[in-house]
């Protein structure tokens, strides 16, 4: 059987959702047999590949880099899954949204430190005005909320997707 091409992406999040993905116990063995992980923090690929079946996105869209990534992801992925509260609701990264990004950076990197004061600009992407959930930028096919989503929810959702069915997560998952 042809393997499902799976990508995972880590945007503005804490990697907890990826931890939860790895925490699905023996279910991971069955899933691993049926997928090729073609991109993500768990593998080496540098560029987002063309023709991906399922992409799991962890994290809010928070920087210029995130923004470009999600557009690339949408372009080359058949199914896009928002994994976890940051991708689904904005969650903790969006707590900066009531304040201007520049002010927040100055508060942290100028007022908040004694040495090496200055907002970092080299090698880091510019922040967007607000950190937003993925579906405010691109079409998302499935939302798996939770902080992090329960391993059982992830295992169930992946299992269904691999069977070619859209999982019904209504009332099985919660925010937070």
Partner 1 sequence: MPENISIRIDGEYVAAQEGQTILEVARAGGKYIPTLCWLAGISSVGACRLCIVEVSGVGRLLPACTTPVQDGMSVTTTSEKLTQYRRIAIEFLFSERNHVCAVCVSNNHCELQAMAQKLGVTSVRYPYAYPKLGVDVSHPRYVLDHNRCILCTRCVRVCTEVEGAHVWDVSGRGIRSMIVCDMNRPWAQASSCTNCGKCVQVCPTGALAEKGFAVDEMVKQDHNMTRLTARRGGHS
Which positions lie near partner 1, rule CB under 8 A?
82, 85, 88-92, 94-95, 97-99, 130, 132-133, 135-136, 140, 143-145, 147, 169-171, 173-176
Least Cα distance to 160 among 26, 39, 54, 22 occurs for 54
Ramachandran region, residue 27 (left: φ > 0; alpha: ψ -120 to 50; beta: rest): alpha
Q: Residue holding tokens 């070619």?
A: 164
Q: Please, what is the minimum distance in Å from the beta carbon of residue 88 to partner 1?
A: 5
d(CA 66, CA 94): 14
Q: Please, what is the minimum distance in Å from the beta carbon of residue 87 to partner 1?
A: 9
Choice between 40 and 167, CB closer to partner 1: 167
Helices (H), the chain: 16-22, 27-34, 64-76, 85-89, 101-106, 151-162
Other CB atoms within a 10 A radius of the CB of residue 161 amount to 22
Q: Please, what is the minimum distance in Å from the beta carbon of residue 133 to partner 1?
A: 7
Q: Residue holding tokens 């509260």?
A: 85
d(CA 73, CA 65): 12
Distance of CA 97 to the CA centre of its chain: 18
Choice between 3 and 172, CB closer to partner 1: 172
Choice between 9 and 38, CB closer to partner 1: 9
Q: Please, what is the minimum distance in Å from the beta carbon of residue 111 to partner 1?
A: 19
Q: Please, what is the minimum distance in Å from the beta carbon of residue 35 to partner 1?
A: 23
Choice between 21 and 173, CB closer to partner 1: 173
Choice between 38 and 155, CB closer to partner 1: 155
Q: Please, what is the minimum distance in Å from the beta carbon of residue 131 to partner 1?
A: 9
Token pair belonging to 33: 């047999």
Choice between 40 and 149, CB closer to partner 1: 149
């Amino acid at each position: 059987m042809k393997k499902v091409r799976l990508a995972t992406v880590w945007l503005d999040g804490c990697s907890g959702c990826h931890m939860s993905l790895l925490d699905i116990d023996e279910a991971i063995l069955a899933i691993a047999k049926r997928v090729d992980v073609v991109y993500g923090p768990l593998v080496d690929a540098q560029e987002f590949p063309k023709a991906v079946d399922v992409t799991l996105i962890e994290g809010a869209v928070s920087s210029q880099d995130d923004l470009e990534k999600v557009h690339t992801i949408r372009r080359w992925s058949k199914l896009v899954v928002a994994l976890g509260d940051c991708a689904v609701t904005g969650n903790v990264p969006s707590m900066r949204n009531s304040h201007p990004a520049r002010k927040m950076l100055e508060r942290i990197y100028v007022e908040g430190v004694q040495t090496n004061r200055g907002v970092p600009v080299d090698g880091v992407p510019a922040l967007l005005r607000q950190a937003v959930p993925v579906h405010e930028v691109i079409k998302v096919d499935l939302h798996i909320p939770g902080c992090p989503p329960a391993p059982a929810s992830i295992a169930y959702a992946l299992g269904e997707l691999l069977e070619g069915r859209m999982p019904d997560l209504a009332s099985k998952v919660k925010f937070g």
